[in-house]
Structure 1
Amino acid sequence: MAAVIPAVTKLSNRIIRILGCNPGPMTLQGTNTYLIGTGKNRILLDTGDKDVTEYQKNLSEVVKAEQINIEHIVVTHWHHDHIGGVENLYGTIAKQPTIWKYRRDTSDAPDNELPSTLPLNWLTDGQEIKVQGATVKIHHTPGHTTDHVVLTLLEENILFSGDCILGEGTAVFEDLYTYMKSLNRILELKPNVIYPGHGNIIEDPIKKIEYYIAHRNQREQQILDVLIKNKEKKFNEMDLVKIIYVETPEHLWPAAAYNVRHHLEKLTKENKIICTNVDDENKWQYIGSQSNL
């Protein structure tokens, strides 16, 4: 069992973690939000879900006790459990912060998670945001979502990983190809420690990142192995989940199927398998390497 995350934790003189109080199968104990800096003006990283009174109360108490002002709100990506609380905080607990988020890809849905009345500013890759005692650098790491970013705290070489790397288990993603590139980019950053968007602190970050990369490669090989051994059969995502994810709790199978589908789409692009529609359902079958000639 994972160690219990307190509602509020002072992790260092630069970082206070406030738990989002929104536990669930996909959020684990809840969304981790972080106040960053040492002076009066601080950065708040992520805001949890909308209308979570307990979270707002805890954050408000920290702001009052520390006698600080939230100068910047940085959102790692558009999912509701990271951006949802912005509406509640703006103009109240955070009086007039600058709100930052990376813009979604043009192939993705438009950015409309926040009311148009809130002044949203667009992050850029490599951008630095500074407050007293802390400089965070933005790294665009798509894959989980097209707008996902991680942040490095330059003073301590800490990585805030958002949903790219979790404190326990593995992450879901929208696009496997870009997600793998993002994992390799994070590996190149060589962080000293990872503060994830969900779950406990990761004290052995290189080992964790390498595990994530190896895990995805292993899953791909497992999928291929099943299809190769059953060349005459066609499988959907859940068929493969039931064979491969035997140690995964059943309530997490839909999330596993989501990831399996992305592996299948990647393998299809590589001409290693073929997708056919059977009774209005996509199914996959091994065909081996095919020439494009």
Structure 2
Amino acid sequence: MAKLEALASITRLSDHVVRVLGQNPGKFTLQGTNTYIIGRQNTYTLIDTGEGKEEYIPVLASALRDIAKPSAPTDPDVSDIILSHKHGDHIGGLPSVLALLRQLWEERNISKYFPLATEATLSSTPTIPSSLQVLHTPGHTADSIAIYVPSDDALYTADTVLGQGTAVFEDLASLISSLHKMHDFAESKGQKETKLYPGHGPVVEEGRELIEMYIQHRFEREEQIVRVLGSEEGSKVDPWTTWSIVTKIYAPYPRNLWLPAAHSINLHLKKLEKDGRVKHVGGEGIDSQWVLVKI
């Protein structure tokens, strides 16, 4: 992986958007989970809440105190919280964020409170601020969404498209469909380019181009798998397993990448099976066995 671009804990991206890092850098979270404060003045919308790191709360509090511009003393800082998908690094911080907001409101003698975070709260149908537009973009997870921020002509892509590297996914067919949906949506706005505000990594200025690269990357990997199964060498291996395909395709890469890659390859194979191009003939997991369907 390329060296990660350093990101500040708090970054004003525009007059309407401030990015706050979740203070949870890691192998899969890159510089950390990006959370976004949306709005020009109170009340704001917060997109995602980090994973619940104690270090995140004072950073978020500092960001809110710096930008808060209530038009009335009783205006809360944040009126809405949108959670992009079910993964813990995006929703785990919700209880501590709600506690922070209660504290900030008490400081200004505001009596209105968010309800306590419960399972029902997380699964209920959301009410989205009219200034934002939501797209259902399953693939990374079944419940993943993207959020269009008109003021910035920017699309918050959560973990479907990252600011650096490629994303993991649960369902490849759904992911590709969602990538096309986001690309077509961005194109429909008629702008030369649509920015991406990702769930991890830096802002992407040329959003449509990156989405196209994601689609092309998946198509190329799919064709690579088909070529392996249909090669002369492939005819001598009866049948190929997910693991033997991985060892062939990822031979130039470090071995510690092979096992994580096997999950992606398996999902590619399942999509190819739905498309009628390969057939599963036995085994499970990395030992799943596959043959090319002769047309």
| Shared fold (TM-score, shorter chain, > 0.5) | yes
Q: CA deviation at 1:153?
A: 0.6
- For 1:211 and 1:281, the matched residues in 2 are separated by 27
Query: Aligned in 2, Cα 1:97/1:270: closer, same or farther, shift over 3 Å?
Result: same
CA distance in structure 1 between the partners assigned to 2:291 and 2:48 by the alignment: 42
Q: Among 185, 208, 215, which residue is 1:213 paired with?
A: 215
Paired residues in the alignment total 268
The answer to whether the Cα contact below 8 Å between 1:70 and 1:97 also exists between their aligned partners in 2 is no
Aligned with 1:88 (options 90, 93, 96): 96
Task: Name the larger-Rg structure.
Answer: 2
Q: Please, which moves more after superposition, 145-154 or 249-258?
A: 249-258
In the alignment, is the contact (CA less than 8 A) between 1:7 and 1:18 conserved in 2? yes
Kindly indicate which of the two structures has a greater share of residues assigned to strand: 1
CA distance 1:253–1:7, shift in 2 (3 Å)? farther
Question: Paired residue for 1:285, among 283, 290, 294?
Answer: 290
Q: CA deviation at 1:252?
A: 4.0
The letter for the 1-side match of 2:230 is I
Percent identity between matched residues is 32
Asked if residue 70 in structure 1 is aligned to residue 74 in structure 2, the reply is: no
TM-score by length of 2: 0.83
Cα distance change, pair 43–279 in 1 and its aligned pair in 2 (3 A): closer
Q: Which runs of 5+ in 1 are unaligned?
A: 100-113
Question: Residue 257 in 1 paired to residue 253 in 2?
Answer: no
Please, which of 212, 225, 228 is the counterpart of residue 227 of structure 2?
225
> Which residue is 2:54 aligned to?
53
Which aligned pairs between 1:73-152 and structure 2 lie closer than 5 A?
A: 73-93=81-101, 96-97=113-114, 115-116=118-119, 118=121, 121-123=124-126, 128-130=128-130, 135-152=131-148
Deviation per residue, 1:123-163 (Å, 9 max, x gap)? 4xxx7514xxxx11011011111111000012221100001
Match of 2:164?
168
**Aligned partner of 1:202 among 201, 204, 209:** 204
Query: Cα distance, 1:267 vs. partner?
Result: 1.4
Measured on the aligned residues, the alpha-carbon RMSD in Å equals 2.4
Deviation at 1:66, TM superposition (A): 2.3
Q: Residue 161 of structure 2: SS of its match in structure 1?
A: coil
1:16 aligns with 2:47: no
The alpha carbon displacement at 1:91 in A equals: 3.3
Q: Distance in 2 between matches of 1:206 and 1:239?
A: 35
Flag the 1:66–1:247 CA change in 2: closer, same or farther, 3 A. farther
The aligned residue for residue 179 of structure 2 is 183
Query: Which of 260, 269, 280 is matched with 1:275 structurally?
Result: 280
**What is the identity, as a one-letter code, of the residue corresponding to 1:43?**
T
Mapped to 2, the partners of 1:221 and 1:284 lie a distance apart of 18
Check 1:280–1:222 CA distance in 2 against 1; reply closer, same or farther (3 A cut): closer
**Distance change (3 Å), C-alpha of 1:214 and 1:41:** same
Farther off after superposition, 223-232 or 210-219: 223-232
Inter-partner Cα distance in structure 1 for 2:41 and 2:214: 36
Letter of the structure 2 residue corresponding to residue 145 of structure 1: T
Of 271-280 and 41-50, deviating more is 271-280
